[in-house]
A and B are shown apart, each in its own frame.
Chain A
Amino acid sequence: MDYRTKAVVMDAEAVDRALTRIAHEILEANKGCSEVALVGILTRGAELADRLAERIERIEGVRVPVGKVDISFYRDDVATRLSPEVHRTDIPFDVEGRHIVLADDVLYTGRTIRAAMDAIMDYGRPHSIQLAVLVDRGHRELPIRADFVGKNVPTSRRERVKARFAGVDGADSVEILEEAGAR
């Protein structure tokens, strides 16, 4: 199916400001970052986690541990649908007792977050798991909410939300896409 851009809801400056604000909020909520670690959900959540770690380092002068998690094996729809590509989970620190900030680009049904929480729990028992997302587009199917949100974007289920990051896509932006031929 072809999609075309309907609206650009965040440009590079807006993404930049949101990242700075989320970094400050994470530090404020956790009273610093001594027990904080970031875990990004592959692939774009991992990019978000790296960017947030950079910001936190700029503010606090401390490099927090960063990991990445692939949720393919924890999906609730394995029997009907497989991830097109499986990546390697890499959590190079002990999660035991830490405040884990899970990072993802777009929060939608919440099913990915449920899977990621289960994946992290398989590594140990963190003190807490918090959630940072660049965009919350609504339509939750599970009782999950984000602690840190770049922007709330009301959407219809027919639309898609595409977050782009400089590291993987060349430039930062968030766009709403709709099916070509709609309207």
Chain B
Amino acid sequence: MSPLSCQHIMTMDDLMPEDITTILDTAESFKEVNERRIKKLPTLRGRTIINLFLEPSTRTRMSFEIAAKRLSADGVNMTASASATVKGESLRDTAKTLSAMACDLVVVRHKYAGAPQVLAECMDAHVINGGDGMNQHPTQALLDLFTMRQHAGRLEGLTVGIVGDICHSRVAGSLVPALNKMGARPIIIAPPTLLPARPDVLGAEVATSLDAVLPELDIVYMLRIQMERAAGMPFPSLREYARFYGMNEARLAAANPGMLVMHPGPMNRGVEVSSAVADSPRAIVLDQVNAGVAVRMAVMYLLLGGESGGAVA
């Protein structure tokens, strides 16, 4: 029996709750490896992992890269500027080319939703979605679940407020279904202009006032305001956004005393999170980054490993 019920991790829909639990449990063991002096395992020796990042990314790409290296896989990076896509090669042809090089796994980041599915159709390798447009970013959701479970000891029954640009966020796109699958209670919190036209299809409760729901939250998850798009942002000013939807010391004091603050990074200090909150022990942003490597090692191991069997070696 294969340890996961899927061949690829493209959206959270690919994963059953049992798969998520398997990934998080396996990641616990990889977390221990990442605390060792020698952070290297021979597990995926001789396997080739291609990081196909056709949209700018540093932290996600580095996290996947480190994960591949710690498992002894051969990792190759391909970025938009260095790839044939600038010469006009289609994604299908890129996929077939990579397939012809006999790679075992491709991590893809692309500006268009659905790019991972196109790749998976054209090649034999496993595909992990490293973020596709405004659609999904499943490994981010998995590392977030890992961090929540690490701190809260459980996922079931946790109330998680997700605050920010819900409409354009692939992080929210994966996190909401991930929380629902694990029995947690997601609440999306944003000004109406940053909510999708039909927020009900996301499957989360909706609030437009952060202060109104704050006392109910076990965790508040602050999405990044994309400053590069700030000029076109549908709110009057960053300052006004920070005032109504930013996590600051006053709000932290008004929240339930154990409430934790999460953020997918990179943070805009003073916008969605104040500096004091970002540096407080209640912010577990660096634990999320730390979990990222372990969780990505776990999905690589589980996708590239063989059948799960109990027989003695």
Contact = CB atoms under 8 A, between A and B. Distances in A.
Interface in A10-43: none
B312 interface: yes
Interface stretch (A46-54, A118-126, A166-174): A118-126
Contact of A82 (B32, B33, B41, B307): B307
Contacts of A122: 36, 38, 40-41
B3 A82 contact: yes
Interface string B33-44: 100111011111
Contact of B29 (A78, A82, A86): A86
Contacts, number: 79
A8 B200 CA distance: 62
A73 B40 CA distance: 10
Contacts of B311: 81
Interface string B268-305: 00000000000000000000000000000000011011
Nearest to A1: B311
Contacts of A82: 3, 301-302, 305-309
Interface stretch (A56-64, A106-114, A128-136, A145-153): A106-114
Contacts of A123: 36-38
Contacts of B36: 122-123
A83 interface: yes
Nearest to A83: B308
18 contacts: A72-B29, A73-B30, A73-B71, A73-B301, A74-B42, A77-B306, A78-B44, A79-B305, A81-B309, A82-B301, A82-B302, A87-B29, A88-B29, A109-B313, A112-B312, A112-B313, A122-B36, A123-B38
Given A86-B26, A106-B312, 8 more contacts: A73-B43, A75-B313, A76-B313, A83-B308, A86-B25, A89-B29, A89-B33, A122-B38
